[in-house]
Amino acid sequence: MADFEPKIVAFVCNWCTYAGADLTGTSRIKYATNVRIIRFPCTGRIDYMLLLKAFDEGADGIIVSGCHPNDCHYTSGNFHARRRWIMFRELCDFVGIDINRVLFSWVSAAEGSKWADVVNTTVTRIRELGPYTEYQKVAKHPIREVTNG
Partner 1 sequence: MDELRKRAKELLESKTISVVIGYEEGTCNRTRALFVEKPEEASKLIFDSRCVLNLATYITKQEVKAKGKMAIAATIPVMRSIIQLAYEFQVSDKNLLVLGITPESNLMEFKDLLEVETYIHKFEIEINASYREKLDKLAGMTQTERWKFWIDELSPCFKCYACRAACPMCYCHRCTVDFNQPQWIPVPSHELGNLEWHIMRAVHLMGRCIDCDGCANACPLGIPINLLNKRLLEDAKRHFGGYQPVLKGDHLMSTFKPDDKENFIR
Q: Which stretches of the chain bind partner 1, using CB under 8 A?
A: 48-49, 52-53, 56, 69-70, 76, 79-80, 82-99, 103-106, 118, 134, 138-139, 141, 143-144, 147
8 in Cβ contact with 61 (< 8 Å) = yes
Cβ distance to partner 1 smaller for residue 6 or 44: 44
d(C-alpha 121, C-alpha 32), whole Å: 9
Query: Which residues, at least 6 apart from 104, have a Cβ–Cβ distance to it below 8 Å?
Result: 63, 64, 65, 85, 89
Q: Tell me the closest approach of the beta carbon of residue 135 to partner 1, in angstroms.
A: 8
Nearer to partner 1, 2 or 90 (CB): 90
Distances (CA, A) of 135 to 7, 110, 131: 14, 35, 9
State the nearest-atom distance from the C-beta of 36 to partner 1, in Å. Answer: 19
Question: What is the closest distance, in whole angstroms, from the C-beta atom of residue 91 to partner 1 in the complex?
Answer: 6
